[in-house]
Amino acid sequence: MLLNSHNVRWLLLASVAGLSLPSCGGRSGIPEGDGTEPLIPCASASDCFDGNFCATKACVNGYCKTVSKVSCNDGDACTSDACEPSTGECVFQPRVSDADGDGYLGALPGTVPGAADACGNDCNDADPKTYPGATEICDGQDNNCDGSIDEGVNAYNPLISPIRISDSSFDLGGVNGLAFGSNRFGITWTGQQNGKNYQGYASGYDIFGFQQFSTTNISQTSNDSFAGPLVWNGSKFATAWEVRAEKGYDIVFNQLDGSGQKLGPDVRISNNYGFSVQPALLWNGLEYWVVWSDDNGGDFFQIFGRKVNESGQLGPTNELSPLMNDARSPVVVQSPTSPLLVYLSATTQRVMGQPLSKDLTRSESPVYISDTGASGFSVARVGDRFIVVWSIERDYVGPSIWGASIDGLGNILVPARPLTQGANFSRAPSVESLGDRFALAWADDRLKYGHYGIRLSTFDVNLNPLSAVTTLVESDFDCIDPGLAVGGSGMALVYRERTNGDVGQPYFLPLACAGNHLPY
């Protein structure tokens, strides 16, 4: 026969060692096992006892073998079932706990509090003042866990004067992300100092406008870098941003503590030729989803997505949008049953909805949410549906903000219609869920032709207005690009004030329920 180099080495070693080689079809004399436990020689069963009372071992053909195990199953999905080796007794440990000591159990990660699979009904097990049946107060959270935030409140007013986020050393800046956690509002924003490269930064303020941590450079690179979205996962912030790299632009991810400090090395999400830009971020209770727009070195942009866990381990990169849509500006949101990707098709100038599976793949065909001419948009889960709002920009900016609602399967529940009126130009909407209704912030020129201020109104899930329009900001300069977030201390607004053409600076403004001077 022909021998390869491996055969030759084995025969030589066997010859030198004086080993007896098995004949073709013969047995080697080496004891066989099933690979699930080590082969331990024995003369009797007593030789096989290793102190584990959860498994019974016998001496079979001269070797120890497990012949039975204690089965522990109480039939309760809300307990972790195990056998204690030192006693052989079953132990059933609850899978959830009452971390805040308010008498109500928290829910399993990735579930809806109060649902059958949640094993708990406390919607915020880090706050002893939040539990089913608690008194609802105006503080930006759902105190009684009924799915509604600040019940009965449909108007918010500025609590203090706006605070500029960037200091005087910055030539310009703009806000990219806003989230509440660790008793503060975290903000990610992009700035430029002394004409040098753009960098991404993080800042933090409480509801009274006091700075909770100083501005931190999260890009930490000599190349241009632009900040991205910010989310809170219950114990830490997370963000993703774009940075110029050797092949174009890439997406980078990291987690931050409550002081804006990185919790580990940066995780590179994309590494392609061309432009990987416009990241969006979702925490689904178990892991992060990062989605972004990527031209892959070609002529059309597509949306791609990737999972990353809290340890920085990455899943595969998945293509989430059809090639010819030229997809831009993705946002990913989740309901209790299904996630939804929303993006802007540059080919058709329409807002698109792409239902997703829980494994971050496409589950249905994309659907059109808006008509042509759609521009900047925002999306949030409100009750049992997703609310999508957008502005219109064809030859010029349109007079109204538009909206529609869609479920997780791509079914349009309320068709597109204008939500605002009374202005010549309206742009840059931002929507924030209040559980059973939503707040909408946008920029328009209703007080002075061609001059933008920031407005706010609330709507129900069927897009009916619940409040009159409130002017939050009106200054000597255009104020645009609003962003909203509710948290454990109220609601906050961020925006950009344009002081010289399109050059501007980022601002922070805490809000309180109308009629209240303090958020409690």
pLDDT digits (tens, 9 = 90+) for 206-240: 999 999 999 999 999 999 999 999 999 999 999 99
pLDDT at position 325: 79
- The residue extents of the domains of the chain are 161-513
Whether pLDDT at 471 is above 80: yes
The Cβ-side half-sphere exposure at 490, using a 13 Å CA radius, reads: 25
- Extract the tokens encoding 471: 């002017």
**CA 430/CA 408 separation, integer angstroms:** 20
Over residues 232-276, the pLDDT tens digits come to: 999 999 999 999 988 899 999 999 999 999 999 999 999 888 999
Pairwise pLDDT comparison (153 vs 393), residue with the higher score: 393
Confidence of residue 138 (pLDDT cuts 50, 70, 90): confident
pLDDT at 309 over 80: yes
Per-residue confidence (pLDDT) for residue 31, from 0 to 100: 53
State the pLDDT at residue 32. 53
Q: Look at residue 515 in the predicted model and tell me its pLDDT.
A: 66
Q: Is the pLDDT of residue 6 over 60?
A: no
516 within 8 A of 510, measured Cβ to Cβ: no
The partner residues of 267 in beta bridges, in order of sequence, read: 253
The pLDDT value recorded for residue 502 is 75
Q: What is the pLDDT of residue 310?
A: 96
**Chain centroid to CA 400: how far?**
29
Q: Which residue has the higher pLDDT, 38 or 400?
A: 400
Percent of the chain with pLDDT over 70: 92
Tell me if 402 sits within 8 A of 392, measured CB to CB.
yes
Contact yes or no for 202/241 (Cβ under 8 A): no
Angle at 29 between CA 28 and CA 31, to 5 degrees: 115
Is residue 518 pLDDT above 80, yes or no? Answer: no
Range 437-463 average pLDDT = 97
Q: Does pLDDT of 376 surpass 50?
A: yes
First to last CA, the chain: 87
Q: Average pLDDT over the chain, rounded to whole?
A: 89
- Better-scored residue on pLDDT, 105 or 9: 105
**HSE, side-chain direction, 13 A CA sphere, residue 90:** 11
Q: Which of 125, 122, 153 is nearest to 434 (CA)?
A: 153
Query: What is the average per-residue pLDDT within 69-98?
Result: 95
In this prediction, residue 33 carries a pLDDT of: 53
SS3 of residue 366 by DSSP: coil
pLDDT at residue 12 in the model: 33
- Please state whether beta strands 503-513 and 490-500 pair in parallel, antiparallel, or not at all (unpaired): antiparallel
% of the chain exceeding 90 in pLDDT: 75
pLDDT tens across 12-33, in order? 333 333 434 344 444 444 455 5
Give mean pLDDT, residues 281-307: 94
What would the pLDDT profile of 145-167 be if each residue is shown by its tens digit? 998 888 888 889 999 999 999 99
The conformational region for residue 508 under phi > 0 = left, psi -120 to 50 = alpha, else beta, is beta
Q: What is the pTM of this model?
A: 0.84
Look at residue 246 in the predicted model and tell me its pLDDT: 84
CATH class (in words) of the domain with range 161-513: mainly beta
Question: What's the average model confidence in pLDDT over 127-143?
Answer: 88
Q: Is 16 helix (H, G, I), strand (E, B) or coil?
A: helix
Q: pLDDT grade, residue 488 (50/70/90)?
A: low
Least confident of 44-48, 257-261, 399-403, 497-501: 497-501
Rounded mean pLDDT, 465-482: 96
Q: Which residues contact 398 (CB under 8 A, 6 or more apart)?
A: 373, 391, 392, 425, 426
46: helix, strand or coil: helix
For residues 470-499, one letter each, b for 16 or more C-beta atoms within 10 angstroms of the residue's C-beta and e for the rest, the string is bebbeeeebbbbbbbbbbbbbbbbbbbbbe
The C-alpha atoms of residue 330 and residue 293 are separated, in whole angstroms, by 7
Task: Please state the separation of Cα 20 from the chain's center in Å.
Answer: 62
| Residue the block writes with tokens 């941590």 | 213
